[in-house]
Chains A and B, each alone.
Chain A
Amino acid sequence: LPRFTETFIYLVLCEINFRKWVADMEAVAEDAEDGVREIDESETSIGNVPPSDNSLALRPEYGCNWVEITAEFFEASKELDLGELLHDELFGLFEAMSAIEMMDPKMDAGMMCNRGNKVLTFDKAIKAGVLKLNNFSMEELVGIMDCILGCLVTWLEGHSAAQTILTCLYLHKPLSIEDRALRAFCVLTLKLVALINNIVNIAGVYEEEDFQPGLYGYGVCAEVPEARAAAAVREVEEELQRVVKSTRGRQGEAWEPLMQKQHEDAVALFSRVRFLRLLYAALSAIMRRDQVSMQEAERCLASCTELVCIMQNTVGRGLRPKAHKDDDPNRGDYGHMMGFEPLVNQRLLPPTFPRYTRLRTRREALQYLDELVTRIRQCGKITHTHTFKQATEFLERFGELEPCVLSRSIAQVLYLGAGNGSGTGPDDKLWGGQSMADTLRSAAKQFICPPALMPKAAVLNNPQAKQYVDNFFMQCVRPFEQLMQMHGHNRARQRDKVTDLLREFASLQDEADEVDAFLHNVLLKSEQPRPHLAYLGTWVLHHTLRLMLHYLLTGFSLQLYAPHEYHYIYWYLYEFVFVWLVSALTRADALLPDQENMEQQQRAKSSRSTRHKNRKQRKTHRPYGKEIAFYQAQQHLCGGFYKAMVGLREAGKVRLPQQEFDDEKVRYHHRFLPFNVVVTPPPVSYHTFITMTDLSNFPQPVSPSALYHDARNHFFKAKTLLEGITNPNSEMQAILKIVKTNFVVMKLLEGGHKNEDPSPPKFDYTYHSCFPVIRV
Chain B
Amino acid sequence: MPQNEHIELFQKRYGFRMDYQERQRKKKAREHKLQSKMAQKLIGIKGKIFAKKRYSEKVQLKRTIKAHEEKKTRKKDEGKVPEGAMPAYLLDRENTSQAKLLSSMVKQKRKEKAGKWDVPLPKVRAQSEAEVFRVLKTGKSRRKGWKRLVTKVCFVGEGFTRKPPKYERFVRPMALRFKKAHVTHPELKATFCLPIVGVKKNPSSPMYTSLGVITKGTIIEVNVSELGLVTQGGKVVWGKYAQVTNNPENDGCINAILLV
| Binding between chains A and B | no
* Residue ranges of B at the interface with A (Cβ–Cβ < 8 Å): none
